[in-house]
A and B are shown apart, each in its own frame.
Chain A
Amino acid sequence: MMSASNTEPIKTPFYDFHVAAGAKMVEFAGYWMPIQYQGITAEHLAVRKNIGLFDLTHMGEFEVTGSDALAFLQKTTTNDVAALEVGRIQYSCMTMPDGGIVDDLLVYRLPDRYFLVVNASNMKKDFDWLQSHLFGDAKLTDISPTTALLAIQGPNAEKMMAELTDYDLGSMVYYSCATAKVGGMELLFSRTGYTGEDGLELYIPYDKAEAIWHTVIEAGKKHGLEFIGLGARDSLRLEMKMALYGNDIDETTNPIEAGLSWIVNLDKDFIGKEVVAKAKADKPDRRLVCLELDGRAFPRHGHDILVDGEMAGKVTSGTFSPSLQKPIAMGYVPRSHAKSGSTVEVAIRNKRFPATVVKPPFYKDASHK
């Protein structure tokens, strides 16, 4: 089998439209994806203030069916799938026997099946992992190769999308989904996102992708819809303290230290439960926290965090926050310094800069609430 790096990256159905819109295309997780169009800062602020369109076709989508689907997902994911009602979605993660995170994901409960959305960079790993734990008549299907994903995000997303569907978007709560006509075509869509803003994510079969794109762009014209690349997606999610797999969480971090206790249900059995339960009971030695810095040196992934002059942790994500206009970061610090108001130092290019632990999220005016 060829590895992803030996093959030409996949073009999403929207590739030519990105290029025509002036996108800078990069290879990401085996796909050609737009990293930016007009510039990360302007795109970021467009989503905070109005609406933006993201191509997220690189994300992985799996379907789980069969009468053992629920039991299978209870075993492989940390959140309580039994509590998930039809039409609702839950954020969750998969853990290994040692408690390390395989991936974080969304679990949708549809009338006749479960629908999982996983990270592009982990798609194959996740599929193999889930496949290896299948039992009974539970069946796993990878529908990523024929599923495109567009996200419309921003405080004016509902107003714009209401023109494309008769479905009552006003009744749709955050983390719910529906299958209904959008632009005249039946689609699965959800009130979800990775920006903190209100918005919808549309799961589109490849054969409808081009038509939906044109419909969305046309409706977006009078609402000032802007194209948003993966660069702004990263700064938007970071301002909300939403974890990015590979940066903030990975196989060496457990959900407790990553601040994800809220998606771990210890009243059920799941792979890795023993270790995760112990981590919770013992309290982890380190915690993933939000850091704010003054000045204009920017913390970035991999920079050292120091406590009393000693190496004490690592920055996992960092940027200059376009909304707050200051450097922000996420990183692991010792439990002793995890409370908001604690101060640590971040080593940036041989200099140390004071950083303050702050309460999440960094950006407090997001429209999704």
Chain B
Amino acid sequence: MNIPGDLKYTKEHEWMKIDGNTAVVGITDYAQGELGDIVFVELPNIGDTFDQMQPFATIEAVKAVSDVYAPLSGKIVEANAALDDDPMVINKDPYGDGWMVKMELSDSGQIEKLLGAEDYQKLISE
């Protein structure tokens, strides 16, 4: 199971790579494995704002549908258009080409609520 040490995680299996006031968001390797083949990703519009842990996207996989939650509050500034043509890139490369959105954070104080790699590892091995 791939859990990069430089990312932050949620209990709902999103990852977030924080760079100053912005962050890239996706779902974890564990999450893509549980969902199986992803067939469609419904992404938010640029400019949409979300509160922490509010669903911002929907993933349709062959087996199940799943909401994706905003790890932190903020505004969508970029969405990964490549997922329209090849949503299974999330299965293949969840932390790289399978990224979902870039957010501008509105409350960096919330970062403390996120899990580090070790805590996330513990969560999924329970």
Binding site for B on A (CB under 8 A): 24, 36, 39-42, 231, 235, 296-298, 300, 319-320, 322, 349
Contact = CB atoms under 8 A, between A and B. Distances in A.
A320 B36 contact: no
Contacts of B91: 39
Contacts of A231: 36, 62-63
Contacts of B65: 298, 300, 349
Contacts of A300: 65
Nearest to A43: B37
Given A39-B91, A349-B58, A320 B39 contact: yes
Given A39-B91, A349-B65, A297 B60 contact: yes
B120 interface: no
Nearest to A229: B36
A348 to B, nearest CB: 8
B60 A41 contact: no
Nearest to A42: B37
B40 interface: yes
Interface residues of B, number: 13
A41 B62 contact: yes
Given A39-B91, A231-B63, A349-B65, A296 B58 contact: no
Interface string B71-103: 000000000000000001001000000000000
A297 B40 CA distance: 8
Contact of A39 (B36, B42, B58, B60): B36
Contacts of B36: 36, 39-40, 231
A235 B36 CA distance: 13
Which of B37, B60, B63, B91 has the largest number of chain A CB atoms within 10 A? B37
B7 to A, nearest CB: 24
Interface in B53-70: 58, 60, 62-63, 65
Given A235-B62, A296-B60, A297-B40, 18 more contacts: A24-B33, A36-B36, A39-B36, A39-B37, A40-B37, A40-B63, A41-B62, A41-B88, A42-B37, A231-B62, A296-B42, A298-B40, A298-B60, A298-B65, A319-B62, A320-B39, A320-B40, A322-B62
Interface of B: 33, 36-37, 39-40, 42, 58, 60, 62-63, 65, 88, 91
Contacts of B37: 39-42
A298 B58 CA distance: 11
Contacts of B33: 24
Contacts of A349: 58, 65
A298 B37 CA distance: 14
Contacts of B63: 40, 231
Contacts of A298: 39-40, 60, 65
A300 B37 CA distance: 16
Contacts of B40: 296-298, 320
B19 to A, nearest CB: 31
27 contacts: A24-B33, A39-B37, A39-B91, A40-B37, A40-B62, A40-B63, A41-B37, A41-B62, A41-B88, A42-B37, A231-B62, A235-B62, A296-B40, A296-B42, A296-B60, A297-B40, A297-B60, A298-B39, A298-B40, A298-B60, A298-B65, A300-B65, A319-B62, A320-B39, A320-B40, A320-B60, A320-B62
Nearest to B87: A296
Q: Which 4 pairs across A and B sit closest by C-beta, in order of nearness?
A: A296-B40, A320-B39, A40-B62, A41-B37
A231 to B, nearest CB: 6
Contacts of B88: 41
B3 to A, nearest CB: 18
B35 to A, nearest CB: 11
B63 to A, nearest CB: 6
A175 B63 CA distance: 30
Nearest to B34: A24
Contacts of A36: 36
A296 B62 contact: no
Nearest to B41: A296
A296 B36 CA distance: 17
A327 B21 CA distance: 39
Nearest to A38: B37
B30 to A, nearest CB: 12
A40 B91 CA distance: 12
A42 B91 CA distance: 13
A300 B62 CA distance: 10
Contacts of B62: 40-41, 231, 235, 319-320, 322
